[in-house]
Amino acid sequence: MRAPPIDMELYPPFDGFPGKGIEFFKRLKRNNNRTWFEKHKGEYEEFVKLPMQSLVAALRPHFAQFAPEFEVNPKKSIFRIYRDIRFSKDKTPYKTHSAAHFVLSGKPKGFLGSGYYLHIEPGETFAGAGIYMPDGEQLKKIRSHIVNASDEFLSIIKNKRFRTLFGKLDGEKLKRVPQGYDETHPMAEWLKFKQFFVGVSWGESKAYSQKFADEIARVFEASTALVRFLNDSFK
């Protein structure tokens, strides 16, 4: 009997993000130029890129349980280290952190809808979810969905586990209720939001643990109801 085809490459088990990866970023910050990076590119590949790919691979079985509609791909989900400096005053060519973004299957990385995000840098690790930069049309749809499904929205953000882990919904807010809604609207405070996300920050040492993938998955799973609510706004 022929074995089923393997559709993705296999990666080493995730045993924690190596301290040498953090040290690489510290040195890169002091030497953020192409000459230095090309000389030390092998260290980036070994101590940053491969461990991040292994971390993403370790998250796949978790996503299969709580959000199977999302793509979790060790090659596609990780952001490149190269900065886009075309419109930036900061011309340093490389990022001094590593990050991954998980979006709905079939959508491009950087998709404006709701998804999951993690990053690792010297001094901090972060895992979160939601929508960080919705455009004007998306904001209208999200606000409309909050009004039309207010009970569902409130049940998500007032959920005990949600509040214990995240505290509250984060994001920039308008000073006044947006045009088209009354100041006395029962959902007025939530309609002021311009961003909708939650997350948890840790020190860099959290990433060194073999259980880091489990910790990230715990955060992602707890935020899944919010992620789905936001994406339902666009249906």
DSSP code per residue over 13-73: ------HHHHHHHHHHHHS-SHHHHHHTHHHHIIIIIHHHHHHHHHHHHHHHHH-TTB---
Q: Do 233 and 138 contact (CB within 8 A), yes or no?
A: yes
pLDDT digits (tens, 9 = 90+) for 6-18: 344 689 999 999 9
pLDDT at 110: 64
The H-assigned helical ranges of the chain are 19-30, 34-39, 41-44, 50-66, 136-148, 150-157, 160-166, 188-191, 212-232
pTM for the predicted model, two decimal places: 0.93
* Residue 1 located in a structural domain: no
* Residue 5 located in a structural domain: no
CA distance 59 to 51: 12
* Residue 13 located in a structural domain: no
- Tell me the residue range of the domain where 162 lies: 19-232
pLDDT at 6: 39
* Residue 11 located in a structural domain: no
Overall number of domains in the chain: 1
pLDDT digits (tens, 9 = 90+) for 86-99: 888 899 999 999 99
pLDDT at 4: 37
Q: Do 40 and 24 contact (CB within 8 A), yes or no?
A: yes
* Residue 227 located in a structural domain: yes
* Residue 156 located in a structural domain: yes
Q: HSE (CB half, 13 Å, CA atoms) of 175?
A: 0
User: Which residues of the chain fall below pLDDT 70?
Assistant: 1-9, 109-111
* Residue 174 located in a structural domain: yes
Secondary structure of residue 92 in the 3-state scheme: coil
pLDDT at 109: 67
CA distance 115 to 120: 18
The CATH number covering residue 61 comes to: 3.30.930
Q: Do 230 and 113 contact (CB within 8 A), yes or no?
A: yes
pLDDT at 85: 87
The gap from C-alpha 168 to its chain's centroid, in whole angstroms, comes to: 17
pLDDT at 199: 98
Helix axis angle for 212-232 and 136-148, nearest 10°, is 80
* Residue 12 located in a structural domain: no
Residues 6+ positions from 135 with CB-CB distance below 8 Å: 112
